[in-house]
Each structure stands twice: as C-alpha cells, then as structure tokens.
Structure 1
C-alpha cells in the first residue's frame, strides 16, 4: 500500500514540477547532458528522487523552500541512498537559477564526464 502511495506521489510530482525542476529537466532529458539517460521523480526505496541516472548511480536534487528545516531528514535520506551506491547531488534553487553552469559542471564531474564547451 505504501509503495502505491509513493508511485502516485511521484506521478503527481512529474505533473507539477517547480520552475527549477523544469529548468533542470530541460538540460537532463533526452540524453542532452553527456549522453546520460535521466528519469525524473523516481521511487527508490521509500524515497522519491528528483532526477536519476541509473547507469551512473547518480541522483540530482533541486532543493526548494520545502527543504528548509529538513536538514536532518535530508541527511538520513542521502545516507540511505549512498548506502545503495548512489551519488546524491543537491542544488539549491538559487544555484539552479543563477549559476546553472556550476550545476552542469558538478553533474558531469560526478559522472566522470568531461566538461565540453
């Protein structure tokens, strides 16, 4: 039952992404970045990850205002995801909005891909 709820939640999140999630998805979708295949709002265990590249075991999170005050929860979540051999990258909305080049560089570096200009 809990699993069904999580999948429904992920589907709802795909239908109503934040502005920053839309921006990231426009970069990550269709193998546009380093030929990596990303999926969005993916259920992993008891969590929903914003963007996941399974081949590189890479999770990209857009941290909006709902993450404020959830530092401990996010730390537990990230530790569990790391225990499943994922690398978790978190980017605050302000960085996605104002320093997208840093976000792109960090994602490529985490996947071991060269930064191309």
Structure 2
C-alpha cells in the first residue's frame, strides 16, 4: 500500500498539483498536510491529521465508483475525519473558491465545541 501511495505522489493529476501547491509547507493556516496518505485500507489524496480533514480530488473515473467512494468516506468519518470532495474541473476552473471551502473547514474544525 505504501508503494502505491508513493507512486501516486509521483504521478499526481493536474488538479492534485494545483491543490498541493496551496497546501504544502503549512501555507494554509499553518496546517501540516500530507498527500497520498494511507489511512486504514485506503489512500486519501490529502489529509491534515490535526484537525482531521481529508480532501479528495476526483476525476471522471469516480463517476463509476460512487459506492466505493461513499464507503471510504463513511469509514473515514467513523474515524473522526471530515471529508471534502472536489471534482478536478472545480479545482482547475475555480481554485480560489475551492481553497476558501478548505480554509473555512479548517477554521470550523479547529474551533472548540460549544455546549
């Protein structure tokens, strides 16, 4: 599984490259993101372990594997992760809006739970 993750890091899509340029080196609110990270039986595109945020960038092949993606999202949510999904074309055509959604999710996840 680690070899596959390493291969995916070397062969990232254009959309993954765009996102990674915005996330790497703690550029987003000081958060440490990892790419193509193994979590349980899955490899996620991007993850910030604190505050437990997973970002998936989906291409056309994901239209045929919706059930698999849904099962993966449920698994990650049971572990406490919030999962954000974006289509490749969203990232490539509207990078700023995608990054704003990610930024707001990080802020929301960092806030203490109000009782």
Q: TM-score, normalised by structure 1?
A: 0.89
Whole-Å Cα distance in 1 between the matches of residues 9 and 35 of structure 2? 7
| Count of matched residue pairs | 108
Residue of structure 1 equivalent to 2:48: 53
Q: Are 2:6 and 1:30 equivalent residues in the alignment?
A: no
- Consecutive unaligned residues of structure 1, counting only runs of 5 or more, are 1-5
| Cα distance between partner residues in 2 of 1:49 and 1:13 | 10
C-alpha separation between the residues in 1 aligned to 2:96 and 2:67?
28
What SS does the aligned partner of 1:85 have? coil
Higher relative contact order (CA 8 A, sep 6+): 2
Moved over 6 A (4+): none
- In 2, the alpha carbon distance for the partners of 1:83 and 1:43 equals 16
Tell me how far 1:66 sits from its aligned partner: 2.0
TM-score normalised according to structure 2 size = 0.90
Structure 1: how far apart are the matches of 2:92 and 2:68?
A: 24
Matched, 1:105 2:97: no
